[in-house]
Amino acid sequence: MATGRLVEVYLDLLSQPCRAVHILLNATRIPHRVRTVALRRGEHRSPEFMKLNPMMKVPVMVDDGFILTESDAILKYLATKYDVPEHWYPRQPERRARVDEYTAWHHSNTRPHAAKVFRLEVLIPTQTSSQVDEVRLVRALSELDDTLDKLETMFLRRQPFLCGDDITVADLLAVCELMQPVGGARDVLQQRPQLQRWRTRVQSAVGESFDRAHAVLFALRDRRHARL
Ligand SMILES: N[C@@H](CCC(=O)N[C@@H](CS)C(=O)NCC(=O)O)C(=O)O
């Protein structure tokens, strides 16, 4: 167990990778302090934040002076450094490699495809006061569908979690990404019972930290429901 100062994390909970980090910290009770960086107010472009991450992205972690960016690296660092149950990021080489296999794939599949749906349905119309581009949205949903197929047939084939019998950091990255379109009142798993069961297993495994991380997104969804 590490000693010294609390782990500090710079997060905006509307950001999918930030929520994954937030859930891991809370579900495993790693002592930490959250520093909110409001993206909508451009706080990630402030000179102070740019000293931590010149790439101007959240999440960022600072652990006793050690600054780390990239959710994937942060999750694995926390699970390795702190005394958390081993299943989060297994030490056994083959099991660990399964987690690394998913997380490598995630950043060019689940993440861009789910994020694009949210961008087209929520971010762009809000920022530009324009209508949703339906043609692009249909295309984005179809790309996401291919990714959902692969999650079901490759990663969840005959196992309850993406990388085996227990939850890992890979499940956190994936579930937070697939929840993002909920902010636009769209559940992309609605027609996907296998993935819905997986999401329920993830929620049960992390307990109330799931809803805590998603409270801001749920509030956004509720505001949209009220307008529809
Ligand atoms: N690969 C990075 C992605 C981080 C990222 O894209 N963060 C977004 C929020 S989801 C951000 O900070 N965007 C601010 C911007 O690009 O201006 C990770 O997984 O940590």
Instruction: Name the least confident of 1-15, 86-100, 212-226.
Output: 1-15
Of 149, 207, 200, 152, nearest in space to 179 by CA? 200
Residue 170 confidence (pLDDT) above 70:
yes
Q: What confidence score (pLDDT) does residue 2 get?
A: 45
Query: Of all atoms in ligand 1, which is nearest to the CA of residue 58?
Result: 12
Q: How far is the CA of 76 from the centre of ligand 1 (A)?
A: 17
Whether ligand 1 lies within 6 angstroms of the CB of 22 is answered as: no
Residue 217 confidence (pLDDT) above 70:
yes
- Sequence length of the chain is 228
Residue 198, both tokens: 């997986």
Whether ligand 1 lies within 6 angstroms of the CB of 109 is answered as: no
Largest CA distance in the chain: 53
Mean pLDDT for the stretch of residues 91-98 = 98
Domains belonging to the chain, first-starting first, are 7-88 (3.40.30.10), 93-207 (1.20.1050.10)
pLDDT above 70 coverage of the chain, percent: 98
Give the model's confidence band at 5: pLDDT under 50 very low, under 70 low, under 90 confident, else very high. Answer: confident
Mean pLDDT for the stretch of residues 196-209 = 98
Give the model's confidence band at 227: pLDDT under 50 very low, under 70 low, under 90 confident, else very high. Answer: confident
Separation between Cα atoms, residue 99 and residue 22, nearest integer Å:
19
Mean pLDDT for the stretch of residues 127-138 = 96
Whether ligand 1 lies within 6 angstroms of the CB of 53 is answered as: no
Q: How far is the CA of 110 from the centre of ligand 1 (A)?
A: 14
Q: What confidence score (pLDDT) does residue 214 get?
A: 98
Phi, psi of 11 (to 5 degrees): -135, 155
Which 8-state DSSP code applies to residue 164?
A: B
Whether ligand 1 lies within 6 angstroms of the CB of 110 is answered as: no
Task: Report pTM.
Answer: 0.96
Neighbours of 111 (CB within 10 A): 21
Mean pLDDT for the stretch of residues 96-111 = 98
Separation between Cα atoms, residue 40 and residue 185, nearest integer Å:
20
Mean pLDDT for the stretch of residues 7-25 = 98
What pLDDT, in 10s, does the model give residues 52-70?
999 999 999 999 999 999 9
**213 and 13 Cβ atoms separated by less than 8 Å:** yes
Whether ligand 1 lies within 6 angstroms of the CB of 56 is answered as: yes
Q: Which of 14, 57, 177 to mutate to test the pocket of ligand 1 (most atoms within 8 A of CB)?
A: 57
Separation between Cα atoms, residue 49 and residue 132, nearest integer Å:
32
Q: How far is the CA of 55 from the centre of ligand 1 (A)?
A: 9
Residue 4 confidence (pLDDT) above 90:
no
Which residues, 6+ apart, have CB-to-CB distance to 114 below 8 Å?
A: 16, 144, 147, 177, 178, 180, 181, 188
